[in-house]
Structure 1
Amino acid sequence: MLVELAIGDAYGGSFEHAYPSFVAEHNTLTGYVPHPGQLGVPAGRYTDDTQMTIAIAELLVSGRRWTPPLLAEQFVRAYHRDPHDGYAPRFHQLLSEVQDGEELLRRLQPQSDKSGAAMRAGPIGLLPTVDDVLYHAKLQARITHDTPAGIAAAQAAALAVHYCHHRLGPVSEVARWVEGILPEDVGHGGWARPWSGKIGPQGWMSVRAALTVLAAGGGLARMLHTCVAFTGDVDTAATIALAAASRSPEVAQDLPPVLWRDLENGEYGRDYLARLDEQLLRI
């Protein structure tokens, strides 16, 4: 799961908020391309979506009881040991300045409804029960996105993984199932409402786009291409969609080999993600 979502993030990151003409020309799945507005960022490098997901995954496999200070410490640690781009500018600056989780919690103003809590929630879906998923997704969301919409987006993203991993039904019904668990309206019109057009910054937008792609079926390659073709915040939608789809036996695991080969593979890159994946699937 972690390698697939990182591929979605790294590939999608090349197209995040890029001009539609650039997306149309280069969204071919034949390899990673440099983002036209991010000089110096190597193609195939994942973003904050994957880095924060790693922090969540490491905490899950540790078996430790989750608390806000522990979660905040994980986020700070993951960033400082291997700084990556993609964070919102103010949060990026804050992470760069703080030394530990307690300081992060003191300085944060977590009143955001954007996608940061949803993009990292995928591994939580591997937990055994819906109640476990809802509790842990909410707890981690409240660190940075303590709003009804921010929390609901994180819970929906984690529930999509839970549905696919535990084989609770056909992938075509994933959005309706999520909507049955999270029926409250946070301003998006329902999780099962198909998404179209550019993906905006709010977390529910990326999640609804990902759920739309999941419910339409096909293989991972089609899902990745479709997420990117929406334009806008496409790396987050791809991260969420591929995290869930990679756990479904219905979905062809057909990402092009070049995307596996050229995904960054430093200390916390492809091979580390694969090892962490093995541990995650034993929780």
Structure 2
Amino acid sequence: MSDAITTSRILLSIAVGDAYGAGFEFETPEVVESENDGKHYRKRVGFTPGHYTDDTQMTLAIWEAVRLGEPWTPRYLADRFVYVYHRDPRPGYARGFEGVLKECKNGTELLAKLKPTSDRNGAAMRSVPLGLLPSVAKVKAYAKIQAAITHNTPGGIASSQAVGLIAHFGFKRLGKLRELAAFLEKHVPGTPWSEPWRGPVPLHGVSTARAALTALLACRKQSDLLRAAIAFTGDTDSVAAIALGCSACFIEYKQDIPAVLIRELENGAYGRDYLTR
């Protein structure tokens, strides 16, 4: 599989995981068990089936920032966050963050208004594209800078670095999947990456990254991975978006997202065709 094919699938995989997971976010275990078949987007109040949420939109902001190649500064990234939100508002944002985004016209205003003290998973959920950077050191540095804009806490930064490094490990062919947890424990110490996550996934950065890693290591097919990510319950869209996006970077993974989920993914201005381009 060429790098071009891999990169074209990363955003699509993230968006499918996000849109599918949005239908199950914080639903009961009974609902998840009965409806998590990997074959349809579930309808949920406030969300349109097949439409992605803030997870993919913020990932697009990071992806586009990487591709544009401008100096990686907080002001530049904050500008991208504001621009991407206003061009195509999405559901799923934390209420406080969305309120600030609505008020701001540029990154300078955003940086002035934000209080980046959260350890939730907003920084982690947008970090998969950082795996395409050329080195471990650069992934960690870029992840720290982008996380600190909104989640300038040890957990917020660590979760962003971990997600970027998972994707980097696969994209750069640094080893086998079975070696991934040890790789993370070396480069993002202080978290038991080798211990499988169990139970519902809270709105917490490191917990979300651990759950995505656990699902990624347990499967070898994207179709299985999608259901495994949802089966945790809790913040299912973030776990599924991260896990599927990272899986697109690994040659060990069968890229078999069900065709119906690709076909029924939204295709507006920033939908399926935009993502695959």
Under a length normalisation based on structure 2, what TM-score does the superposition of the two structures give?
A: 0.95
Aligned to 2:28: 19
Aligned to 2:238: 236
| Matching residue within 66, 70, 82 for 2:72 | 66
Residue 21 of structure 1 and its aligned partner are, at CA, apart by: 1.4
The runs of at least 4 aligned residues of structure 1 exceeding 3 Å deviation read: none
Q: Which amino acid counterpart does residue 34 of structure 1 have in structure 2?
A: K
> How do 1:189-228 residues align onto structure 2 when only pairs under 5 Å count?
189-228=191-230
Over aligned residues, Cα RMSD in angstroms?
A: 0.9
Number of equivalent positions: 268
Q: Distance in 1 between matches of 2:72 and 2:186?
A: 27
Tell me the SS of whatever aligns to 2:72.
coil
> How do 1:1-283 residues align onto structure 2 when only pairs under 5 Å count?
1-35=10-44, 38-39=45-46, 41-183=47-189, 185=190, 189-275=191-277
Tell me the SS of whatever aligns to 2:105.
coil
Residue 169 of structure 1 and its aligned partner are, at CA, apart by: 1.0
Q: Distance in 1 between matches of 2:212 and 2:42?
A: 22
Q: Distance in 2 between matches of 1:151 and 1:79?
A: 22
Question: Would you say the 8 A contact 1:56–1:121 is kept in 2?
Answer: yes
Unaligned runs of 5+ in 2: 1-9
Q: Structure 1, residues 45-82: CA drift from partner, whole Å, max 9, x if none?
A: 10100000000011111111111111001000000000
Tell me the SS of whatever aligns to 1:112.
coil
Residue 173 of structure 1 and its aligned partner are, at CA, apart by: 2.1
Question: Would you say the 8 A contact 1:153–1:203 is kept in 2?
Answer: yes
Q: Distance in 2 between matches of 1:205 and 1:234?
A: 12
Q: Distance in 1 between matches of 2:194 and 2:127?
A: 19
Q: Distance in 2 between matches of 1:46 and 1:23?
A: 19
Q: Distance in 1 between matches of 2:39 and 2:242?
A: 21
Q: Which amino acid counterpart does residue 152 of structure 1 have in structure 2?
A: A
Aligned to 2:7: none
Unaligned runs of 5+ in 1: 276-283
Tell me the SS of whatever aligns to 2:100.
helix
Q: Distance in 2 between matches of 1:19 and 1:231?
A: 7
Q: Which amino acid counterpart does residue 135 of structure 2 have in structure 1?
A: T
Q: Structure 1, residues 217-276: CA drift from partner, whole Å, max 9, x if none?
A: 32011111000000001111111111111111110011100110011111011111111x
Question: Would you say the 8 A contact 1:171–1:217 is kept in 2?
Answer: no
Tell me the SS of whatever aligns to 1:61.
helix
